[in-house]
């Protein structure tokens, strides 16, 4: 990976805080009155991990069913997916199953890295940390909790997934001599 650009998808139900996590990470801002994402949005940020620079291409998806018109092309060439749920909304965790199925069906990367993120830890929780962790383990995903509003652990979410993606890429290149994507 010469240019070290990493495409990350941020997916989950409407209202879980996907756009807020991205905005906090990229711009260090939070807006309580954020508009609903229609279709998808894109932001990028350069980060430094262990002395190496990575450009993150962050793809923010619409969580609302009526705006969900994602095509397989959206998933292509993604190295990682941030699966977000709201710790105050049980249904948002349950519906991550469908998002994971969609990711598995459309991703061309057999080694796509996933991280499950319980957002809104600044609020009173309905879903325990243990439940979120259990869900993540079931799907072999990384796990963190965060708060875009309170700026808690947001940067850690993206640093964790980038570190894991970097390990997967290094392994793939070492074994196969190049990055491996499936043909759909």
The residue-averaged pLDDT of 43-65 equals 82
Q: Is residue 182 part of a domain?
A: no
Q: What was the pLDDT predicted at 53? A: 87
In a domain, 142, yes or no: yes
pLDDT tens, position by position, 96-110: 999 999 899 989 998
Domain of residue 151 covers 5-176
The DSSP line for the chain is --S-EEEEEEE--TTSSHHHHHHHHHHS---TTPPPP-SEEEEEEEEEETTEEEEEEEEEEP-SGGG----HHHHTT--EEEEEEETT-HHHHHTHHHHHHHHHHH-S-TT-EEEEEEE-TTS--SS-HHHHHHHHHHTT-EEEEEBTTTTBSHHHHHHHHHHHHHHHHHHHHHHHSS------
The better pLDDT of the pair 45, 66 is held by 45
Does some domain include residue 154? yes
For residue 146, being part of any structural domain is answered with yes
User: What would the pLDDT profile of 84-138 be if each residue is shown by its tens digit?
Assistant: 999 999 999 999 999 999 899 989 998 899 999 999 999 999 999 999 999 999 9
Domain tally, the chain? 1
The pLDDT of 139-164, averaged and rounded, is: 95
Question: Which CATH number does the domain housing residue 159 bear?
Answer: 3.40.50.300
Mean pLDDT of 40-66: 80
Going by pLDDT thresholds of 50, 70 and 90, the confidence category of residue 67 is: very low
């Amino acid at each position: 990976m010469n240019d070290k650009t990493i495409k990350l998808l941020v997916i989950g139900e409407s209202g879980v805080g996907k756009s807020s996590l991205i905005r906090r990470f990229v711009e260090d801002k939070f807006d309580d009155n954020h508009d609903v994402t229609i279709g998808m949005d894109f932001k990028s940020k350069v980060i430094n991990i262990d002395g190496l620079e990575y450009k993150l291409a962050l793809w923010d998806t619409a969580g609302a069913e009526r705006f969900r018109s994602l095509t397989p092309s959206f998933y292509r060439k993604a190295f990682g997916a941030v699966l977000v749920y709201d710790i105050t909304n049980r249904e948002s965790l349950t519906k991550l199953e469908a998002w994971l199925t969609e990711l598995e069906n459309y991703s061309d990367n057999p080694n796509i890295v996933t991280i499950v993120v319980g957002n809104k830890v600044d609020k009173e929780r309905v879903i325990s940390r243990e439940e979120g962790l259990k869900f993540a383990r079931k799907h072999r995903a990384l796990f963190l909790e965060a708060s875009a509003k309170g700026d808690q652990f947001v940067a850690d979410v993206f640093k964790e997934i980038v570190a894991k993606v970097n390990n997967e890429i290094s392994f793939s290149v070492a074994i196969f001599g190049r990055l491996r994507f499936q043909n759909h």
